[in-house]
Amino acid sequence: MPAATTNQFNGFLISKDANQAGTPGGAQQIAWTALTDADLMPGDVDVAVTHSTINYKDGLAITGKGPVVRRFPLIPGIDFTGTVITSGSSEFSVGDRVILNGWGVGETHHGGYAQIARVKSDWLIKAPAAFTPAQTMAIGTAGYTAMLCVLALEAHGVAPGAGPVLVTGAAGGVGSVAVTLLSRLGHDVHAATGRPEETEFLKSLGASVVLDRAEFAGTPRPLAKERFAGVVDVAGSTTLANAISMTRYGGCVAACGLAAGMDLPSSVAPFILRGITLAGVDSVMVPKPRRIAAYDRLARDLDVAKLDALTVTHPLADVIELAPQILAGKVRGRVVLEVG
């Protein structure tokens, strides 16, 4: 554990009334709060947080519309980047730039919406030199998840030229980075969105075709016309079921989200008659070697100019206003939060 210090800092803290803290549901409050080292949870590295971001999961945590936060009080924020200020780990030294994505941070362990974070060194990776601190959070869990989806498609033989790759929720965080990555890698990207006003934005990221998400909203057939060699899906539910039914023989569907629901009204037909693969993509508990490999690929394959073009920057205080917007699908691309 880091040596004792006397740091005083501020952060957002989600709390509940004492008689509700141990039960699901119930009203929660979030406030910018003065904190000290004594308020931090166990860990062997302290980080001065410079930037964070907002993901769909963060929106659920802040609004209380999903059971993301599982202990109270808690600092939310599943992502952060910053500089090591105290280390009890041989892997990290004071001054190192580091990134954290997932590992239950912002859910059961204090997260990135504060000026200081204390975490386990096993949860951290060193920030690639190719990216500025702000760019690492423009990537964030969303962009890192998009890269994991691309790796899943590649592992199952979906190569450029094999056929179109569908990206659902394409104007959101995972979707916009997935479109950018897949396009640069040479894929024919078909982007599905419920926001037709984002058509030109998606084409600027590399989509060749922009589809109305309504095409994937009807009752799924066991087998529909074969259209896509691969799919990156953030929606789940009926959208995912329809995408599966439209996947070509031997194709792969990388599923990483549940924005439309947790159910899957599908059939075994695409799996046993077309031999497709449904690849589940988790980003929270991914072992460190795969995380490093994903960031190495991002440093190589992500067009930084396009990343900057799909990113907006806000002060951390704006996260309260942004949370309901991201749940309503009104946030385009990626958001970087500057931690003052």
How far apart CA 140 and CA 143 sit, in angstroms, is 6
- For the segment 133-151, what is each residue's pLDDT rounded down to a tens digit? 999 999 999 999 999 999 9
How far apart CA 113 and CA 75 sit, in angstroms, is 6
- For the segment 86-122, what is each residue's pLDDT rounded down to a tens digit? 999 999 999 999 999 999 999 999 999 999 999 999 9
Quick one: DSSP state of residue 41?
P
Nearest CA-CA partner of 334 in 160, 149, 141: 141
Residues in contact with 306: Cβ distance below 8 Å, sequence separation at least 6, in sequence order: 180, 184, 204, 205, 206
Domains, the chain, in order of start with CATH, read 8-127+310-338 (3.90.180.10), 140-280 (3.40.50.720)
Q: Strands 277-280 and 247-255: what pairing?
A: parallel
Binned at pLDDT 50, 70 and 90, residue 131 comes out as: very high
pLDDT of residue 2: 52
- For the segment 46-71, what is each residue's pLDDT rounded down to a tens digit? 999 999 999 999 999 999 998 999 99
- The per-residue pLDDT of the chain, averaged, comes to 95
CB 176 within 8 A of CB 170: yes
- For the segment 24-38, what is each residue's pLDDT rounded down to a tens digit? 556 899 999 999 999
DSSP 72-127: SSB---SEEEEEEEEE--TT--TT-EEEEE-TTBTTTB--SSBSEEEE-GGGEEEP
Which stretch of DSSP H or E encloses residue 278? strand 277-280
